[in-house]
A and B are shown apart, each in its own frame.
Chain A
Amino acid sequence: MEKKKTSVLRGILRTAAFALLFAFLFHAVSTVLADKRFRDSMAAFYAEPRNSVEVLLMGSSRVHNGISAAQLEEEFGIRANNFSQDGQVLPVTWYALREALRYQKPKVVVLDVYKVIQDSLIDSPASLHRTTDNMSVGLPRVEMIYDLLPKGERAEFLFNIITYHTRWKELTAVDFAPADVSGKGDEILEGTYQPYEGFAVVPESVTASGAECELRYLDKIVELCEKEGIELLLVSVPFTTAEDDDLSRQEVLNGMAEYAREKGLPYINMMHMTEELGFDFSTDMADMYHLNAEGMRKVTDWLGRYLQQNYGL
């Protein structure tokens, strides 16, 4: 009997040891195979000392490429981090913010509201991967996956090896190197984009409503910031559109002024501040919707001063 007990115990211990070894290797292999596009920028956030960030930049690619946390720190002495990702719609931002608040207690969250134009829980599986792949394992990540995705599509986000295992064919030294955490999460785009001839800024008075789904999650973000005592600054950086802008982007972002008024929040729609910013659509855009290095510099320069003047940073 004693012998049998020992044998059972040995079996359990061996199984547990094997499971641990497997889990370790599974994590290592998943990490090597994962896409590295946003690895460094998000790792830079986790590398910040706890509760050291004063300004957190959140939202879509238009903040990722449009406002520089590094410039805020270098030129204005504001400790900032850019925790945005390409294609991040507001439902994703809501969970990303909850994740960020597990590590930092910023004074101000600068939130890009551009995605209120888009009525969807996620932008695309690829864009959601950019966020979930690089988040730490915690409740916000799991909740995000269960909340935003239908039943059959969650597994590839919980275990991203399901998506990335085919990358074994394209692995390079970068995939095996540790993340570079020297940045602040910004991404600078080069090149210049010329908007179509006749492109014009739509007057502020012409408005349209944001998407219901996005506003629902924006409400949650507003509530969370209030609860946590965090100042929320809504922004929209300059952008151009296609001639047949079927989403009426400018009108929707004009309409956000009304939302901000209702909530008692500041909203900076930079489409109508080009003179103040010194912004030129013909030289400061990298593509139709994103700023280039020069555009980013101008916007950040203005925003840095605004933050200093209004938040005592």
Chain B
Amino acid sequence: MLFNSLEFLLFFPAVTLLYFAIPARWRHIWLLAASYYFYMCWSPKYALLMLFSTVVTWRGGRVIARADALPEGKRRTRFRKGALIASVTANLAVLTVFKYLTFILENISRAAGLVGLSFTVPAIGLLLPVGISFYTFQALGYTIDVYRGDIDAEPDILRYALFVSFFPQLVTGPIERSGSLLRQLRAEQSFDGARVRAGLVRMGWGFFMKMVVADRLAWFVDTVYNAPEGQAGSAVALATLFFMFQVYCDFGGYSNIAIGAAQVMGVKLMENFPRPFLSRSFRDYWSRNHVSLSTWFRDYLYFPLGGSRKGKARMVLNTMIVFVVSGLWHGAAWHFVFWGAVHGVCIAAGRLTLPCRKKLRAALHIPEDGALHRAVSWFLTFIMLAGTYVLFRANSMHDIVTLFHAMFCDFRLSALAGEKLYAYGLDRMDMLAALISLAVLIAVDLLAERGDLLGRLERKPLPIRWAVYLLLIFSILIFGVYGPEYNAAAFIYFAF
């Protein structure tokens, strides 16, 4: 079930109303049933994979907890490690089969071809299960948390199953931490009008980002990126700019809907996209972009690898490992690996050059918080990020070369002049709507950067609040991309 579907518009109020109407002790079972229904609307049989992941990680957690009760010694360590390794291996094996097997076999075939051997990749025909990367990572995070002793193993499998399948964040995150979400799922949530209102507004803003901004920009982006040969560099540049906002609004929109929906039910999910394009460095970007994933990699991969504690060379290596894996997490294709590697290089280079840059700033008497430094660092970061988005969106490594060649060797601004601008999938009125909605998005982000925007709205007089609510709802209803002319576009991150 997509968030931007009529089914969800019926499903969500029904689930929420009943959630508050039934006794607290039944609520987690109700939410669990609703979450599995939500997932099974897409594919009933693939819910078994989620169930498998749930049972394996829950059981792993229980075994670790039982081992913890044993006296210190080899047996205890063996049990603990065994449970951890079994849980991680089983989950990653499922993920590998369903997400990476074709990619691996294709590369084996290519490598075999290089040494003169012939190997035909068999047709596997497995559909990538929606949200598998998200719930697998969330479940693995739980096992590792229990292993580390950060949390106690959850005794109730139903409550744990809800932690893995909680429908607001099931298919596209945020990837929650067990310490936060499990605790909240245990607590009794009461109905709070102000909280429900804030959650609904948050959901509305998420729908605006997805349906009004992202899905409209997608027309332009797809036109250019799906036929890169012969495109002018100016068109590629504009498509890339639009793609940056498309991804942000697609994934950020989903996150806002997820966070808002959970908030309605009294569950606070972590912020996932706090305005990534206001970043002033790549490090800053990864603290604002897909925060739940980047902190997952930090906590469960980068730190265990040693982080930056083992010298500069290890820091660089660890950073590269994390970002290459992150690239692979985003998709089983080399251009994602390349994209991850470029981010790794930029982060590592940023850290290595930090002392030099500090010295340079001091020598030039440029204060770190000065307007000039802020503007220049933001601009440079934004431009470099734009380059990485080309890697992210391009359909192949060959297309990456074509697209960069167009931007650097065949810019042709005339390709966007006058009426030609409207030949890329957005007619004049849609282009106007796209630009106005982008302006609204940027204005809201700038206001939100200065503090709690929803809180400020809540303190406004009733007529102003209602006007904002209605404006938001009708902007989506009128300018949103939906209905029989278009299929409700799936969220980009569903495929991850």
Chain A interface residues toward B at CB < 8 A: 11, 14, 18, 21-22, 25-26, 29, 33, 125, 155-156, 161-163, 165-166, 168-169
Contacts and interface: CB of A to CB of B under 8 A. Distances in A.
Interface string B445-485: 00000000000000000100010011001100111101111
Contacts of B193: 11
Which of A155, A156, A166: most chain B Cβ within 10 A?
A166
Given A125-B484, A162-B484, A18 B469 contact: yes
B13 to A, nearest CB: 12
A21 B462 CA distance: 13
A165 B480 contact: yes
A166 B474 contact: no
State the 10 A-B residue pairs at the shortest beta-carbon distance, nearest first.
A169-B429, A162-B483, A155-B6, A11-B193, A168-B478, A165-B478, A156-B484, A163-B483, A163-B484, A161-B477
B152 interface: no
Contact of A25 (B430, B474, B482): B474
Nearest to A30: B477
A29 B484 contact: no
B477 A21 contact: no
Given A161-B477, A165-B480, A168-B429, 6 more contacts: A21-B470, A155-B6, A156-B483, A162-B484, A165-B477, A165-B479
Nearest to A17: B466
B430 A169 contact: yes
A22 B483 contact: no
29 contacts: A14-B462, A18-B466, A22-B470, A22-B473, A25-B470, A25-B474, A26-B477, A29-B474, A29-B477, A33-B478, A125-B484, A156-B483, A161-B477, A161-B478, A162-B482, A162-B483, A162-B484, A163-B483, A163-B484, A165-B477, A165-B478, A165-B479, A166-B483, A166-B485, A168-B478, A168-B479, A169-B427, A169-B429, A169-B430
Contacts of A14: 462
Interface of B: 6, 193, 427, 429-430, 462, 466, 469-470, 473-474, 477-480, 482-485
A156 B488 CA distance: 13
A78 to B, nearest CB: 40
A226 B136 CA distance: 66
A241 to B, nearest CB: 31
Contacts of B482: 162, 165
Nearest to A159: B6
Contacts of A162: 482-484
Contact of B466 (A21, A26, A161, A165): A21
Q: Is the interface of B mostly helix, strand, loop or mixed?
A: helix
Nearest to B474: A29
Contacts of A161: 477-478
A29 B478 contact: yes
A136 B6 CA distance: 23
Nearest to A12: B193
B488 to A, nearest CB: 11
Contacts of B462: 14
A11 B474 CA distance: 23
Nearest to B465: A18
B462 to A, nearest CB: 8
Contacts of B483: 156, 162-163, 165-166
Contacts of A156: 483-484
Nearest to A162: B483
A165 B479 CA distance: 7
A25 B480 CA distance: 17
B228 to A, nearest CB: 28
Contacts of B485: 163, 166
A266 to B, nearest CB: 41
B24 to A, nearest CB: 19
A166 B480 CA distance: 8
A35 to B, nearest CB: 13
A22 B482 CA distance: 20
A266 B470 CA distance: 55
Nearest to A26: B477
A29 B483 CA distance: 16
Contacts of A168: 429, 478-479
B480 to A, nearest CB: 7
A162 B211 CA distance: 13
Contacts of B469: 18
A25 B6 CA distance: 20
Nearest to A155: B6
A231 to B, nearest CB: 40
Contacts of A125: 484
Nearest to B428: A169
A146 B6 CA distance: 16
A29 to B, nearest CB: 6
Contacts of B429: 168-169
Contacts of B478: 29, 33, 161, 165, 168
Nearest to A158: B6
A26 B478 CA distance: 10
B482 to A, nearest CB: 7
B134 to A, nearest CB: 27
B475 to A, nearest CB: 11
Contacts of B474: 25, 29
A161 B482 CA distance: 10
A22 B204 CA distance: 14
Nearest to A14: B462
A125 B484 CA distance: 10
A148 to B, nearest CB: 16
Contacts of B479: 165, 168
Contacts of B6: 155
A22 B462 CA distance: 15
B360 to A, nearest CB: 52
B248 to A, nearest CB: 24
B255 to A, nearest CB: 25
Nearest to A29: B474
A58 B48 CA distance: 54
Nearest to A166: B485
B295 to A, nearest CB: 37
Contacts of B466: 18, 21
Contacts of A166: 483, 485
B122 to A, nearest CB: 35
Nearest to B427: A169
Contacts of A29: 474, 477-478
A168 B479 CA distance: 8
Contacts of B473: 22
A168 B212 CA distance: 13
Nearest to B9: A155
A26 B477 CA distance: 9
A195 B199 CA distance: 64
A162 B427 CA distance: 20
Which of B193, B477, B480, B485: most chain A Cβ within 10 A?
B477
A21 B479 CA distance: 20
Nearest to B476: A165
A161 B483 CA distance: 9
Nearest to B432: A169
Nearest to A169: B429
A26 B482 CA distance: 17
A233 to B, nearest CB: 37
A25 B470 CA distance: 9
Contacts of A33: 478
Contacts of B477: 26, 29, 161, 165
